[in-house]
Each structure stands twice: as C-alpha cells, then as structure tokens.
Amino acid sequence: MQVFNEINALKQALSSERKEGKKIGFVPTMGFFHEGHLSLMKQAKNETNCVVVSIFVNPTQFGPGEDFESYPRDLNRDLKLCEDVGVNYVFTPDVSEMYPTGYSTYVECEGGITKTLCGASRPGHFKGVTSVVNKLFNIVEPDLAFFGQKDAQQVAVLEKMVRDLNMNLKIIPCPIKRENDGLAMSSRNVYLNEDERKDALVLSQSLKIASELIANGETDAKSIIDQMKSHIMTASSAVIDYVQIVDNSDLSDIDTVKGEVLFAVAVRIGRTRLIDNMRMTI
C-alpha cells in the first residue's frame, strides 16, 4: 500500500496503473473508520483491481458552529485498517493541498434535491460536498466510486452531478452497516455518552415503526411521520431536525407512500447530529 499527500504524485502513480489496464475503484472518506467504511473498501476490492481511498476532512462542507475542528481523526489507525483490507493507495492531503491560496472555484448542484433534508438545515453543505468530490474525481479518475447509503441524499446529489457533467465513472451505493442493536454506524457515534447511545436507537426504531405501518396497509405519509416523531421524542436527549418521506428519485415530499420512497430522519442526540434512512418499494 502506498500513501500520498500530494496530488501530482498520486496522479502519476495512478496513470501508470491505468496504462496497465487496471480498473480503479475509489472510496472517498473523512477517515475515523468503522465497519461501514471498511465494507466500501471491500466492495471496491471485489469489483476493481486497484483501490484508492482518500482521507480528507473537508472544511467546505462544514457550516459555522459545526464540528470541523473536533471531528474525530486517527490517521495511523485508519492507514492500518486500509492495509488490512488490501487497499492499494491512500490519499491524505492537507487542506492547503486541496484549497491552495487563491482557490475560488466551486461546483454546486442546484434545485430541490439539495434544498430538502440535510440541505435545508445545513446551508452550503452540499456545495462543499460536490466541490470536493469533483476535485477528487478529477485527481483519481476512477471507474467506480463507492459511497454509503446512510448518506442517501449525498448519493443522490453525486449521482446527479455525475449525470449532469457527463463524468466517465459510475457511483456505487452500498448498504448501511449497523451495530447489533440497529444503530447506523457513524464516525460521530463516538461523541455519544452511555445514555445518549441508548437514546440514539430511536432513529432506527422509528424506521422500523414506519416499515411495520406500511406492512399493515398505512400509506398516509403524514400519519406515518407523526408516529415516527412520537417515538423519537420518547428519548429525553432527542431533538428532531427532520423526519421526512420523499420520492426516492428526486427527494420531493410525498403525501401518499407508493413507488420508490425514502424514509429519512435527522436527530440531535445531545450535541450530536445523527442521520438514518430506509429505502422501500411499495
């Protein structure tokens, strides 16, 4: 495994791999790996023969008062995990490498797809995401790029960016990885104290309630959302950011649950903002 922190050096190494006919798989991350990240790397390894992982906590996708400075980091541990999986290249640039003095170019996906869900409560977040991922795609030039479905809106936005800009790669969404009790794996779970960790289960439990309601014939989105919210608020440390049921294709709100739908929740447990979701065909 080779580790690079300079763009040109990585591009040169990957150019050699490409000349040998290697299929390049790319896993962009912000590090502090859990099994969800490792599952992306393993899938990339299964589907390609050259796996690149980036570790970069991107400042442009964090808003004022968010946790950029305190976001969990452990590069040495992350590199060991990458090596154990069999990753070929790791890219760990400094902020100054990605955003040198005078940098002022951004890529933004406009429209409803970025204005709902996390986009509504985190203005500018997806502009930061699309800009940095666009840069990373230009640096790595992957054939396939692997993203976790836990960030369902991010996946949808990046799929749209790839389509709109005619990028020569494919986004591969990968299933959510969960703890044994159902909590979606997240680097931010480390922020939770013991009581908050128990309260955090209301996110996945609310999605299970929605699934059960659908199975029993309920299709009214408002009724389902109300019952999901009622359960979430049984946790004393929970503050709801959003609970929405949207069309899976364009993330627009729906009144009647039918077709391909996404159930999405964002909740602050104490000071920690957590998200979860469930896709379903009705």
Assigned token pair, 84: 């154990």
Q: How far is CA 43 from CA 25, 27, 55, 173, 174, in A?
A: 9, 10, 18, 10, 8
Residues 6 or more apart whose CB falls under 8 angstroms from that of 211 comprise: 278, 280
Known catalytic residue: 37? yes
SS3 of 26, please?
strand
Cβ proximity of 257 and 282 under 8 Å: yes
Cβ proximity of 278 and 257 under 8 Å: no
Asked whether the CA dihedral 146, 274, 176, 242 is positive or negative, the reply is: negative
Q: Is 163 exposed, middle or buried (0-12, 13-18, 19+ CB in 10 A)?
A: exposed
- Residue 53 φ/ψ, nearest 5 degrees: -120, 130
- Residue 24 φ/ψ, nearest 5 degrees: -100, 125
The structure tokens 């929405």 sit at: 244
Cα–Cα distance for residue pair 170/152, rounded to 1 Å: 16
* Among 17, 26, 22, CA closest to 44: 26
Q: Which residues are catalytic?
A: 37
